[in-house]
């Protein structure tokens, strides 16, 4: 399966408008990412973790990128709950990840930071009233309305995109 071309994240389109009933499944995907990530990188050597293929992010930089985006997801949730008409844009150049020098950090530090941030997000999701799930605002890049359920489906897809990229890097490292 390693000969399949992967979809570029920014080329992806999403069918949004998930019903509130989809939220428990989406929430579990979001909640489970730290454990899946930790399991995926457990026991890898430093050389494997920081190796860049074709100038693209290393395994460790992909982990750091997930940490870097947690404030975006939290901010967008804040905007949805406040009734904003549009969601804040993402930095499409990913400057935070490019400038963070995640390869110089300890992997354990990145994993703890991600788990802590994601647990805070999950706690907020657990506390949401059902009425909040249908609040919508315009996603700036996709140019379509996004509800709370859609936002976290998008987050889960983004998490899986980077987990799949890590798997791809590891397949090329053996």
In this structure, are residues 90 and 72 in contact, taking their beta carbons and an 8 Å threshold? yes
In angstroms, the CA 88 to CA 149 distance is 17
Enumerate residue ranges in the chain where pLDDT < 70: 1-5, 9-12, 174
38 Cβ contact partners less than 8 Å away, ≥ 6 residues apart: 111, 115
CA 120/CA 125 separation, integer angstroms: 9
pTM of this prediction?
0.93
Domains by residue range for the chain, with CATH: 19-172 (1.20.120.450)
- Mind listing the pLDDT tens digit for each residue in 127-146? 999 999 999 999 999 999 99
> Facing residues of 138 across strands?
86, 145
């Amino acid at each position: 399966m390693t000969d399949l071309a992967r979809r570029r994240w920014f080329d992806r389109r999403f069918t949004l408008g998930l019903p509130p009933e989809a939220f428990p499944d989406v929430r579990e995907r979001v909640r489970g990412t730290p454990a899946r990530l930790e399991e995926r990188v457990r026991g890898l050597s430093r050389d494997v973790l920081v190796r860049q293929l074709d100038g693209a992010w290393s395994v460790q930089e992909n982990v750091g990128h997930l940490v870097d985006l947690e404030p975006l997801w939290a901010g967008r949730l804040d905007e949805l709950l406040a009734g904003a008409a549009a969601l804040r844009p993402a930095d499409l150049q990913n400057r935070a990840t490019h400038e963070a020098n995640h390869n110089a950090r300890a992997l354990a530090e990145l994993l703890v930071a991600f788990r802590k941030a994601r647990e805070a997000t999950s706690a907020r999701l657990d506390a949401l009233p059902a009425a909040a799930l249908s609040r919508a605002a315009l996603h700036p890049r996709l140019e379509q309305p996004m509800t709370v359920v859609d936002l976290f489906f998008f987050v889960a897809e983004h998490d899986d995109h980077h987990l799949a990229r890590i798997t791809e890097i590891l397949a090329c490292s053996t």
